[in-house]
Amino acid sequence: MQKFYNREKHLRRLRSLSQDIQQTKGRLSVVVGRRRVGKTRLLKEAFSTIDSEFLYLFISRKPEAALVEEFANLIAVQLDVKFFKPSSLRDIFEFLFHYSMTTPITVVVDEFQDIAKINASLFSDLQNLWDSSKSKSMMHFLCCGSIYSLMIKIFKGSKEPLLNRDDDFFKIQPLAPSYIKEIMLDSNKYSPEKMLQWWCLSGGIPKYLEWLQGASDNVFNSLLSEYSPLIKEGVHRLVEDFGSEHRTYFSVLGEISKGNTTRARIEDFLKMGVGTVLNELEEVFDVIEKKRPLTSKENSRDVRYSITDPFLRFWFRFIYSNSSAVEMENFEYIRSVISRDFKTFSGIELESLFKALLVESKKYNAIGGYWDSKGHNEIDIIAVNDIDKKILMVEVKRQSKNYEAGKFEVKVDLALTKLKKKGYSVDIRCFSLDNMDLIFNEFLK
């Protein structure tokens, strides 16, 4: 198994909850994070060394009877239970809660939100079982899900049976830039240029970083072939969640990846209304986000949409947009398109990498960008620290020699009049591949 990076705080907390369960009695933890972010690996890493029992149950989208049979077989083998013949998922959980009265156990239920597609009444059953068992149970019960909005609804929705039953809530994020750099250094593959390439192809998602570790120096030759999981990854990650409307969702994401980032432009290209689709992509699936100038109000209509995950931005830009070549297995054509366009694409992505680095630094309480009402005079990054009264204004360039300080300072003056932050010190900078290592050392020291 490959080295496990980051997550130390989560590991300590998860382990302590399970190790102390005999004293604390029942604990319910909620773990959320997008697909591929490493939730399952984290949980197995956390609980593989604990002294008590550990049971992992995955809610696959199959008939309840099939899940009951699968879980009953797991319980029989892992807990050495004989003559257990459940007829429903309720029976499974009732047995486990009863079992935990005498034996400490950690139970993980993965893709917990999909219970709604199999038997939605089980949420009420679990509420009743948990409420009646918690004070006597020695179970650390973990409900793990990949659709953030649905997990929030299940545990925070005012009309939901499991409202506020969680004792601990973990949101698992992609690995931050410093950990991507650490992985690259451990693999003897680091350079600023490759760091940008790995950011575009992973966005810090551990599974994709594993692919990159195993790839040759020519990453695109390795990962763009009929055998590569990258080719179908966007489909595998999204289609099951999107369901029957996936083609419409994919069309909208495809337009955003091409630079049509306003609702008006998307509707103009697709010749259809997309308001509902945009809302669901943002609020239900957490696949896109709204971006406004940092100087604007929250209800401003000056909105641009962006795909949240760098990997999906790459996948829609280069794989989905060339679906015909993919179907023909003409990977040489796709590599040619990437060879032609990747430098421009990654130059834009360099901005998101530096933003992620500033987020990781925890030196600022607001990070965003700026453009005027006509969409001009853009500033790539504005970072604000309201405690120390500091503002960082950044122009991002692949090469610092292309930075024109005078022109940028004119845009900075325009933005500052909109920010209305009197008395703040302003640091005007150029971030580039040339000075990436210096920036890492300065902001992450």
Output the DSSP codes for 91-147: HHHHHHHHHTTTS-EEEEEETGGGHHHHHTTHHHHHHHHHHHHTTT--EEEEEEES-
Model confidence at 2, pLDDT cuts 50, 70, 90, reads: low
Q: What pLDDT, on a 0 to 100 scale, did the predictor assign at position 1?
A: 40
Picking from 375, 434, 372, 370, the residue whose alpha carbon sits closest to that of residue 402 is 434
Quick check: 396 and 196 in contact, CB under 8 A? no
344 token code pair: 């421009």
Quick check: 281 and 238 in contact, CB under 8 A? no
Q: Which residues contact 386 (CB under 8 A, 6 or more apart)?
A: 365, 366
Picking from 302, 287, 220, 295, the residue whose alpha carbon sits closest to that of residue 254 is 287
Q: Which residues contact 157 (CB under 8 A, 6 or more apart)?
A: 163
Quick check: 339 and 322 in contact, CB under 8 A? no
370-394 pLDDT, tens digit each: 998 888 999 999 999 999 999 999 9
Please tell me the distance from the alpha carbon of residue 341 to that of residue 324, in angstroms, as a whole number.
18
5 token code pair: 């990076």
User: How does the average pLDDT of the chain come out, rounded?
Assistant: 93
Output the DSSP codes for 301-342: S--EEEES-HHHHHIIIIIGGGHHHHHTT-HHHHHHHHHHHH
Structural domain spans, the chain: 8-171, 177-344, 359-443
Statement: residue 105 has pLDDT above 60: yes
The secondary element (H helix, E strand) that includes residue 237 is helix 230-242
216 token code pair: 């040759």
Q: What does residue 30 show for φ and ψ, rounded to 5 degrees? A: -110, 130
Quick check: 32 and 146 in contact, CB under 8 A? yes
3-class DSSP state for residue 394? Answer: strand
Q: What pLDDT, on a 0 to 100 scale, did the predictor assign at position 373?
A: 86
87-97 pLDDT, tens digit each: 999 999 999 99
Q: Which residues contact 326 (CB under 8 A, 6 or more apart)?
A: 231, 319, 334
Statement: residue 5 has pLDDT above 80: no
58-67 pLDDT, tens digit each: 999 899 999 9
Please tell me the distance from the alpha carbon of residue 284 to that of residue 354, in angstroms, as a whole number.
27
Average confidence (pLDDT) over 74-99: 94
- What's the CATH class of domain 359-443? alpha beta
Average confidence (pLDDT) over 270-294: 94
Question: Which residues make beta-bridge pairs with 390?
Answer: 385, 425
Q: Which residues contact 266 (CB under 8 A, 6 or more apart)?
A: 252, 255, 256, 260, 274, 278, 305
> Do 8-171 and 359-443 agree at the fold level?
no
Q: What pLDDT, on a 0 to 100 scale, did the predictor assign at position 225?
A: 86
168-171 and 139-145 strand pairing = unpaired
Statement: residue 309 has pLDDT above 50: yes
Q: What pLDDT, on a 0 to 100 scale, did the predictor assign at position 375?
A: 86
318 token code pair: 């280069």
213-269 pLDDT, tens digit each: 988 888 998 888 888 899 999 999 899 889 888 999 999 999 999 999 999 999 999
Q: What pLDDT, on a 0 to 100 scale, did the predictor assign at position 244?
A: 85
Quick check: 345 and 317 in contact, CB under 8 A? yes
18-42 pLDDT, tens digit each: 999 999 999 999 999 988 898 988 9
Q: Which residues contact 38 (CB under 8 A, 6 or more apart)?
A: 7, 172, 175, 205, 206, 207
Please tell me the distance from the alpha carbon of residue 329 to that of residue 334, in angstroms, as a whole number.
9
Please tell me the distance from the alpha carbon of residue 356 to that of residue 176, in angstroms, as a whole number.
7
320-376 pLDDT, tens digit each: 999 999 999 999 999 999 999 999 999 999 999 999 999 999 999 999 999 988 889
Which CATH architecture best describes the domain 8-171? 3-Layer(aba) Sandwich (3.40)
Statement: residue 210 has pLDDT above 60: yes
Q: How remote is the C-alpha of 196 from its chain's centroid?
A: 18
Output the DSSP codes for 27-57: EEEEEE--TTSSHHHHHHHHHTT-SSEEEEE
